[in-house]
Amino acid sequence: MNPYLQEVLDAHVLIERWLSHGEGSAEALMKRFAADFTMIP
């Protein structure tokens, strides 16, 4: 599988676990993004 696609899938699993099950942390998720990443321009 393409490593970029795998990264997207892995990130979605982490987000689901964090939101649905209270597992993991926001910090661990944010480490996957660039330091200056923002969803709000």
3 found inside a domain:
yes
CA distances from 26 to 1, 2, 10, 16 (A): 26, 25, 14, 12
**This model's pTM is above 0.95:** no
Count: domains in the chain: 1
pLDDT of residue 39: 76
Domain housing 19: 1-33
CB–CB of 22/8 below 8 Å? no
pLDDT for 38: 83
Cβ neighbors of 26 (< 8 A, separation 6 or more) are 18
Distance between CA 30 and CA 35 in Å, rounded? Answer: 8
Say if 8 falls within a structural domain: yes
Residues 11-40: tens digit of each pLDDT: 899 889 888 988 888 888 888 888 888 878
Look-up of token digits 């979605």: 12
Q: Collect all residues with Cβ–Cβ distance below 8 Å to 1 and sequence separation of at least 6.
A: none
